[in-house]
Amino acid sequence: MKEKILIIDDDEKLNLLLSDYLIKFGYTTLSADHPSHGLTILREEELSLVILDIMLPDMDGFEVCKTIRKESNIPIIMLTARGDLTDRVVGLEIGADDYLAKPFEPRELVARIQSVLRRTDQRKPDNTQLVFGGLEVNLDNHNVFLDGQPLELTSTEFELLSLFVKNPGKVLDRDKIMDWVSGIEWESFNRSVDVLVSRLRQKLKDDPKHPIYLKTIWGTGYLFLGKEQ
């Protein structure tokens, strides 16, 4: 089945150009020039990924991203006209998976889409069910439970967690993490790893001063403390 991509951007001409281009790479596309229309499509269609512009009428892309994250873990690539570092930090914190600054080459967007979808769909290890105390992680169906309650993670958060749970007791430096969670513009945004870890910690209710799961190894990276049961 073809991956179906939703484009939410108030530039109708750009929507049409992107749709025509993505079709050449085998993707099915839907587009919306208003946030409310985009959210309606998201709730009605089986989608693989959302391309979301930050500058939108009535509700900016950050608010749209927050709304999507309350309902879905679908991968999100955000488009920003400014390429502002602050925009990227905020976007990561609320659940975006990747970024692209306008203007951009359509082929680069395709590469980002392929990378995000590959991370989401193709990493299925042999040992799929891992338990660490109150944390249960299924690496096959991406279900995560904390103290018996389902934990909602974005695709990037899940990829980060999967790296940690498959390497308990090992110090992972930022380079290792960057190699695993590919797709984000790491060189121009070297705080990405720390932002992602902070976001994951919040969802795990893990206090960095008294960690249960993720310990910071200053100057190096991070250590997953959990012991598999």
The mean pLDDT value for 203-227 works out to 90
Domain positions in the chain: 4-121, 129-224
Contacts of 154 (CB under 8 A, 6+ apart): 69, 73, 75, 76, 95, 96, 97
- Estimate to the nearest angstrom the gap between the alpha carbon of 31 and the chain centroid: 20
pLDDT tens per residue across span 66-110: 999 988 889 999 988 765 666 667 777 788 888 888 888 999 999
What pLDDT does residue 146 have? 93
Angle at 90 between CA 85 and CA 96, to 5 degrees: 105
> Which DSSP letter does residue 168 get?
T
pLDDT-based confidence at residue 229 (cuts at 50, 70, 90): low
pLDDT tens per residue across span 146-202: 999 999 888 788 888 988 998 888 898 887 787 776 554 444 445 678 888 899 999
**Does 213 score more than 50 pLDDT?**
yes
Cβ atoms 188, 93 nearer than 8 A: no
Q: What is the pTM of this model?
A: 0.61
pLDDT tens per residue across span 100-142: 888 889 999 999 998 888 876 654 444 578 899 899 998 877 8
**Does 15 score more than 90 pLDDT?**
yes
Tokens of 7: 């484009």
List the CATH code of the domain at 129-224: 1.10.10.10
List the CATH code of the domain at 4-121: 3.40.50.2300
What pLDDT does residue 41 have? 96
User: 102: part of which helix (H) or strand (E)?
Assistant: none
Contacts of 129 (CB under 8 A, 6+ apart): 136, 137, 138, 139, 140
